[in-house]
Homo-oligomer: A and B are copies of this chain.
Amino acid sequence: MKLSEWGELALIEEIKRRVSYSSDVLIGIGDDTAQIDVSANKSLLITTDTFSENIHFTTGLFTAYQIGYKLVASNVSDIYSMAARPCYLLLNMTVPGELDKDFMLEFLDGINRAIKQYGLQLIGGDVTSADKAMTFTATLIGIPQNRVIRRDGAQVGDGIYLSGPTGEAACGHELLKRLSMPVKVESDELPDLPLKRDSMLRVLKRFLLPDIEPVKDAHNIHSMIDVSDGLFIDLRRLCDASGVGAILYERDIPVSDAIKEVAGFLQIDPYRLITSGGEDYVLLFTAPKGLNGYYQIGEIIDEPSVKIERTDGSIENIGYEGYEHFVHKG
């Protein structure tokens, strides 16, 4: 059987089945980060992400600067989703010898921007040659601030919140694919299209150079995950880990002016982008109802299903639509 038939999730289940932990591993495989107990009052969080060429990025759509920045930002998002502070970065670069030195320097500039923006320190890594495609891995160590917030703490009756609108990144990706060339948003370059400058900048930046934001006050939050594979699949993960169900209300899910305008121009229905587009790097969390400053999009319910009430009043079950490696290539 090929991996493309077996699937990424089956492989991860196989790996989970093989591991067992002693008490110093506070969180193992299965959350946004691992957590290890270091001493009486100190623990650390660790997360790692790999970007591979032609899967996570192509040089036809990304500048080297954007690849470097986004690699680090995706890890920062995982640390923020535990309500922790990102600190120490390791960087593994597997690149072919034919690669241009300037590409590498621009990639490092992107890494450096993320290091400065999020207050990180680059403490190590590995440089190796690649036979063909580039592969980059970033590993990030974070320090808990107060309580670490896991994805398995959702409680029946909680409101479900988003820290920002979803779908803009996927919309930016669609726009880029239509353009078929990189756009240097880091230098404020934008394509010449009949669209508002702000809308283009917004969706392209969400995809290429996303600003990752922590929640301001994690005090009342019961569970949290970052939306990286898509709102629906990441909500399902949170619900599965917590052993609860959920209902979303379509009318409450934010649809930004930028996505309306750009998706309209591209003649795409924004619904799929918003619910299953992925790479949003916003936070999805649950907390008692009535929290201000975030989008409340649904509630945690005492039944096993995860569903959405559409604007026409109909109810649909939410499956596992989202990005799975090997199985679909996005």
By a beta-carbon cutoff of 8 Å, the part of chain A in contact with chain B is: 1-6, 8, 11-12, 14-15, 18-19, 21-22, 24-25, 27-29, 33-34, 36, 38-42, 44, 46-56, 87-88, 90-92, 94-102, 104-105, 108, 112, 121-133, 135, 137, 139, 141, 325-327, 329
B137 near A33 with CB under 8 A, answer no
Asked if residues B126 and A49 are in contact (CB atoms below 8 Å), the reply is yes
Identical subunits present: 2
| Beta-carbon contact of B128 and A55 below 8 Å | yes
B105 touching A14 by the CB < 8 A rule?
yes
Flag if A130 contacts B34 (CB, 8 Å): no
Cβ-neighbour of A124 out of B48, B92, B112, B122 (below 8 A)? B48
Q: What's the minimum C-beta distance from A279 to chain B, rounded to whole angstroms? A: 13
**Inside 8 A of A94's CB, which chain B residues have their CB?**
50, 52, 135
Q: Given A2-B99, A97-B4 in contact, is the A125-B29 Cβ separation under 8 Å?
A: yes
- Which 3 A-B pairs have CB atoms at the shortest separation, nearest pair first? A4-B97, A34-B123, A54-B131
Closest to A109 in B: B18
Residue in B19, B124, B133, B325 whose beta carbon sits within 8 Å of that of A46 in the complex: B124
The answer for the CA separation of A27 and B124 in the assembled complex, in Å, is 9
* A49 to B92 alpha-carbon distance, docked (Å): 8
Flag if A29 contacts B137 (CB, 8 Å). no
Q: List 9 A-B contacts (CB under 8 A).
A: A5-B101, A15-B91, A24-B87, A28-B123, A36-B88, A46-B139, A50-B94, A97-B327, A130-B135
Q: Would you call A129 and B52 a contact (CB within 8 A)? A: yes
Return chain B residues, CB-CB under 8 Å to A6.
101, 104
| Among candidates B3, B132, B133, residue contacting A99 with C-beta atoms closer than 8 Å | B3
In whole angstroms, what is the CA distance A131 to B39 when docked?
A: 42
CA distance A112 to B16 in the complex (A): 12
Tell me the bound Cα distance from A294 to B113 in angstroms.
47
Q: Are B132 and A132 in contact (CB under 8 A)?
A: yes
Please tell me if the beta carbons of B29 and A97 are within 8 angstroms of each other in the complex.
Answer: no
A1 with B137, Cβ < 8 A, contacts A38-B39, A47-B124, A127-B8 known: no
Indicate if the CB atoms of A11 and B127 lie closer than 8 Å: yes
For residue A129, which residues in chain B have a CB less than 8 angstroms away from its CB? Answer: 3, 8, 52, 55, 325-326, 329
Q: How far is the CB of A33 from the nearest CB of chain B, in Å?
A: 7
Give, as a whole number of angstroms, the nearest-CB distance from A241 to chain B. Answer: 15
A123 proximity list for chain B (CB < 8 A): 21, 25, 27-29, 34, 36, 46
Pairwise interchain contact B97-A3, C-beta atoms closer than 8 A:
yes
Contact status A50-B3, CB under 8 Å: no
Question: Given contacts A48-B124, A137-B137, A139-B139, are A55 and B131 in contact (CB under 8 A)?
Answer: yes
